[in-house]
Amino acid sequence: MTENMSDSINIKIQYFAALREITGCACETLSVQVGSNPKTVYQQLNNQYDLPTQKRLKIAINDCFCSWESVLTSDDTLVFIPPVTGG
Amino acid sequence: MTNFSITSEPIVSAELIIQLEDPDCGAVATFSGIVRQHNKDREVTQLHYQSYKTLAVKEGNKILGEAKEQFNIVNALCVHRVGDLNIGETAVWVGVNASHRDAAFNACRYVIDEIKTRVPIWKKEIYVDGDSGWLEGAG
């Protein structure tokens, strides 16, 4: 039990625009494997939601633009950013 | 105070332009993005804007800083509206002051172009038939 818990971390995910409508929530906490990155988290979420292709999305971790390969740490806030349409 | 801000209140350009009054500046260029009533042959009744506020303000200020570095301007401001907007309302306002008009025009154009492609703000169109959808963006 202790070993399993140490193998996973909790992260927070915020959703915006179309992704918020698909998931039905503005944010959620997710338990992910240690060493996870946005790419693996997106694959994990895709089992739960009918998400669009990741090709056009950008990534932010803790309010900074990051890459899909950035390794996540405990309590990080991850955002998948759909193509922007402001202005 | 940051030069890029996000507001849920109506944008009043006359109040913003006062901030660009400067006796050293002979030029003020502004851009207003207005909600229009059609897009791609569909009649629009309302727009809804949503932002990822923390990163939007950070990226917006970065763009204004780039404009000040790249063009010979004195100051640059931008306000973007969020929430529900009706036809004719201002969604975004950009203002730049400079000694001369070339730099003011060019910087103003740079700021709005970069904001439209980099700042995490999204728009949803509500159509006359009741249908609605988030716009796809250029990606």
User: CB-hemisphere CA count at 13 Å for B78?
Assistant: 31
| Any A CB within 8 A of B138 CB | yes
Give this prediction's pTM.
Answer: 0.93
Question: What residues in chain A have their Cβ under 8 A from chain B's Cβ atoms?
Answer: 14, 16-18, 20-21, 56, 60, 63-65, 79, 81-87
- β-sheet with A8-14: strand ranges across: A27-33, A8-14, A77-81, A58-61, A64-66
Among candidates B58, B92, B121 on the partner chain, residue whose Cβ is nearest the Cβ of A84: B121
- Is residue A66 classed as helix, strand or coil in its secondary structure? strand
By DSSP bridging, strand A58-61 and strand A77-81 are antiparallel
Token pair belonging to A50: 């009918």
* String of DSSP letters for A24-36: T-SEEEEEEETT-
The identity of residue B34, as a single letter, is: I
Among candidates A16, A63, A81 on the partner chain, residue whose Cβ is nearest the Cβ of B58: A63
Among candidates B58, B123, B139 on the partner chain, residue whose Cβ is nearest the Cβ of A86: B123
- Is residue B2 classed as helix, strand or coil in its secondary structure? coil
The whole-number pLDDT of residue A85 equals 96
Contact A16 B50 (CB under 8 A): yes
Contact B52 A79 (CB under 8 A): yes
The identity of residue B126, as a single letter, is: I
Q: Which residues of B touch A56 (CB under 8 A)?
A: 137, 139
Distance spanning both ends of chain A, measured CA to CA: 50
Distance CA B121, CA B128 (A): 23
The whole-number pLDDT of residue B66 equals 98
C-alpha torsion sign, points A52, A55, A56, A60? positive
The whole-number pLDDT of residue B38 equals 86
Chain A residue nearest residue B90, CA to CA: A87
User: CB-hemisphere CA count at 13 Å for B82?
Assistant: 15
Residue pair B29/B104 in contact by the 8 Å Cβ criterion: yes
Task: For chain B of 139 residues, list the mean pLDDT of each consecutive stretch of 10.
Answer: 89 96 97 92 93 98 98 98 97 98 98 98 94 81
**Residue scoring higher pLDDT (A6 or B68):** B68
Chain A residue nearest residue B138, CA to CA: A83
Contact B122 A65 (CB under 8 A): no
The whole-number pLDDT of residue B1 equals 45
Residue pair A83/B118 in contact by the 8 Å Cβ criterion: no
Contact B92 A81 (CB under 8 A): no
The whole-number pLDDT of residue A6 equals 72
| Structure confidence by residue, pLDDT tens digits, A18-74 | 999 999 999 999 999 999 999 999 999 999 999 999 999 999 999 999 999 999 999
